[in-house]
Each structure stands twice: as C-alpha cells, then as structure tokens.
Amino acid sequence: MTTETTGTAARDGDPRPGGPADSPFIRACRRRPGPHTPVWFMRQAGRSLPEYREIRASVPMLESCRRADLVTEITLQPVRRHGVDAAILFSDIVVPVAAAGIDLDIVPGTGPVVAEPIRSAADVERIRLITRDDVPYVDEAVRQLVVELGDTPLIGFAGAPFTLASYLVEGGPSRTHAKTKALMYGDPELWHALAGRLAEVTLAFLRVQIEAGVSAVQLFDSWAGTLSEADYRRYVLPHSTAVLSGLADDCSGSGRGDRRAEPEQSHAGVPRIHFGVGTAELLGAMGEAGADVVGVDWRTPLDVATGRIGPDKAVQGNLDPCVLLAPWPVVEAEVRRILDQGRAAPGHVFNLGHGVLPETDPEVLTRVVALVHELSSRRADQG
Ligand code: CP3
C-alpha cells in the first residue's frame, strides 16, 4: 500500500506526505527544498560494521548477495545504527554479470576475479541478457526492504559499462586498466559490442530493482576517471547514456513492451545518480548521460563541481573517507565546509567521495549523520 500510494503520487509530482517520495533524500535529488540536507554513505552496508562482519564470518560474499534474507538484514543495519536518510541495497556490481553467465568469484582481499576474461566477439556472446528470473533474490530482497523501510527510501544500483568491462577484460582489479584500454583503442568495434551488451544487462538489472520498488538508482562508474574527457565521450558516454536514458524512457512509457509490474512502479521515474572517482574532468559529461544527481569525489569542491555540471542537476558528496579516521574536530570542520560549498548546488545529498573504509569507527559515521542534520536544519530555522 505504501509503495502504491507513493508511486502514483510521485508521478503526479505531489508525493504523499511522509512517504519515501517525499523524503529529504528524494526531495534533494529532485532539487526541491527539504527539512535538512540528507546523508547516506557509499558502502554503509558492509565491512565497517561488526554486526555485518558477524554475518559474513561464515558466508562467502557472492552467497550473501544471493540470499534475500541476508541482503535485507545487511541493508537495514546502517539505517538502524546511523539513522541515515537512505538505504542502499547490499550487493556487488558483478552480481548481474555472474547472473548473465560469466564465471567469476569475489576473492577476499582481492575483489572480483573472472575465470575466463573477455577478449573476443565470441566471449561477448557468452554474456546473456538477464530477466528478473535470473536474479530472484534481488527482486525478493527489494520487496522485503520496501516494507521494512517504510518512509526511508531504498537506493538500487548497478555498475556502469566501463567499470564492469574493466573487470571482465582485465580478469580482476587493475590499477592502469591497460588491457581494457588496449582493447578499446585497438578494436573499437569489439569494445562497443562489449560495452553495448553490458549496458543492456545493466539496464535490465536496474529495471528489476525499480519494478520491485527502489526509490532511486545509482550507476557506479567507479573507474571512469582513468579516461580523458575525449575518450570518455567517444567510448563510454553512449553506453552509460543507453542505461540512464533507457530508464527515463520507461517514465515516458515509450521504452518497453512487456514485463511491467504495477504500472505505478514502472512509471515512477526514480532519480538517477551517476558516480565515479577521479572524474573532475568528466563531471559535465557524466551529467549529460542522463543523471538527476552527479556524484563527486573529494578532489573537486562542490561549488566548483556545480559550475561544471550546471544548474539543472543536484550533486552528491564529497567527504574524503580518510577524514573519518582523523580526530573529531577535523571531521566537523570538513563537514561544515562541504555543507557550505554544497549550498551552491540546486540540491545536495551529503555522502563520502568514495566508499566507507573498513577501519572506520562506526560511531564517527553516526556522529556525522547527526551533525549534517543539525547544521542543515539550523540553517533552515535561521532561514
Ligand atoms: O563492504 C564491503 O566492502 C564488503 C562487501 C564487499 C562488497 N564488494 C560490497 C559492495 C566485498 C568484499 C566486495 C568485493 C569487491 N567488489 C571489491 C573489493 C572490495 C574491497 O575493497 O575489499 C571491489 C573493488 C568490487 C567491485 C565493486 N563493487 C565496485 C567498483 C563497486 C562500486 C562502488 C565502489 O566502491 O567504487 C562495487 C559496489 C559494492 N560493493 C557495493 C557494496 C555493498 C554497493 C555500493 C555501496 O554500498 O555503496
């Protein structure tokens, strides 16, 4: 009932008071005023929390992503503990790729490792298109979470074509992305076939999450910052645009024929966040891909970022995750600076510039949430 009311109302631009579509987070994504600046943290569900480490002690990473009960519990943990303004689904960017038929594992201390890296057109053909039936645990977890979270919005996510392609071509994490770039420059046709296929998988995966009820989505192009703007525009932007604009087509009702769940969900037009690391030179292009919110890492002040992104998009960021390891007065000063610089943007979602580091004291995260709320609502009072 909650989702139905909210979805219908959101489409009409008049969200049900108190529902997820009227939350401070969704309001900021839509550049609407709200009671305070919303805050959540990339990787908030995960390794910094003892209650997470306890669950994972006996369960491998990919298995934990495929058990809806565990996904639901791990996703809720940071919401209970910190009082963040949004939950993000616990999963990994390689989950849909594994569901598409690629043999991979997440190796502790290393990250995703692909058994047979993608190097040829025949390899690209091994990446199947996916439907909800390939990721039933994601559909189920999102539906459970929407009920459990009530008025707190749930963010769905996926990896962007470039970042996914990097893991598939390299076979694992890479500092230089040399094999990926060699393929891109040396065989553009094969590159576009691979990135195009990954865009289709990603779009399908995000649609599953939206139809199950997420309130927003984030596209992670974590490693896009390794490219020049010219190469980003030529080799990556068309594919990320296919994903983000593909979701926008769903809103206008022109994009799809079948597999619609409740109409109000597929019409929800959920806000789209587009994020990468080291993307100072790419911020404008990443916005152009079809984002409502552009994620900014800690290197670019939010007022400067807003100048590059333009006045019709909100920003998300951008506390350096390492600052959370410093004494509290340093953290406090940085939070104040970021809130001040974020006022230049037409909407600001407070976040880190990249994910929470494992060694972060969770109590500092809780204090940051309280401080962001206090400082931003006091400003409204003084209004
Ligand atoms: O919190 C944790 O790190 C523990 C669980 C875990 C995740 N991914 C959660 C995750 C583990 C062990 C991984 C494996 C993995 N996958 C790694 C190594 C992680 C490490 O540092 O040990 C990496 C680099 C990947 C690939 C990956 N996954 C990328 C590039 C991204 C995009 C976000 C980013 O960090 O740049 C992900 C997404 C991801 N992995 C999420 C979660 C919960 C979702 C996003 C979020 O919560 O912000």
Strand partners, 156: 217
| pLDDT given for residue 250 in this prediction | 80
Is there a contact between 358 and 50 (Cβ–Cβ < 8 Å)?
A: no
Active site residue 232: no
Ligand 1 midpoint to CA 43 (Å)? 7
CA 115 to chain centre: 26
Is there a contact between 163 and 277 (Cβ–Cβ < 8 Å)?
A: no
Catalytic entry in 52, 167, 232, 235: 167
Give the nearest ligand 1 atom to 48 CA: 1
Is there a contact between 317 and 323 (Cβ–Cβ < 8 Å)?
A: no
Ligand 1 midpoint to CA 92 (Å)? 6
Report residue 126 as tokens.
């091994």
Element (H, E) at 87: strand 87-88
Q: Is the CB of 294 under 6 A from ligand 1?
A: no
- The residues near 75 (Cβ < 8 Å, ≥ 6 apart) are 45, 87, 88, 89, 90, 141, 145, 154
State which residues of the chain have pLDDT below 50: 1-12, 254-268, 383
Active site residue 151: no
Active site residue 43: yes
Alpha helices in 274-361 (DSSP H): 283-288, 302-309, 328-342
Is there a contact between 180 and 224 (Cβ–Cβ < 8 Å)?
A: no
| pLDDT given for residue 248 in this prediction | 86
- Give CA–CA dist 349/347, Å, rounded: 7
Q: Among candidates 178, 171, 62, which has minimal Cα distance to 115?
A: 171
Active site residue 132: no
Q: Among candidates 297, 360, 374, 372, which has minimal Cα distance to 324?
A: 360
Pocket test of ligand 1: the residue of 220, 279, 316, 354 to mutate, having most ligand atoms within 8 Å of its CB, is 220
| pLDDT given for residue 12 in this prediction | 44
Q: Is the CB of 70 under 6 A from ligand 1?
A: no
- The residues near 146 (Cβ < 8 Å, ≥ 6 apart) are 2, 3, 154, 212, 213, 214
Which residue's CA is the nearest one to ligand 1's atom 25?
111
Give the nearest ligand 1 atom to 173 CA: 24
| pLDDT given for residue 381 in this prediction | 52
Q: Is the CB of 141 under 6 A from ligand 1?
A: no
Active site residue 119: no
Pocket test of ligand 1: the residue of 55, 62, 76, 92 to mutate, having most ligand atoms within 8 Å of its CB, is 92
Burial class (CB in 10 A: 0-12, 13-18, 19+), 230: exposed
| Gyration radius (Cα) of the chain, Å | 20
Ligand 1 midpoint to CA 262 (Å)? 31
- The residues near 38 (Cβ < 8 Å, ≥ 6 apart) are 23, 24, 25, 27, 28, 85, 86, 349, 350
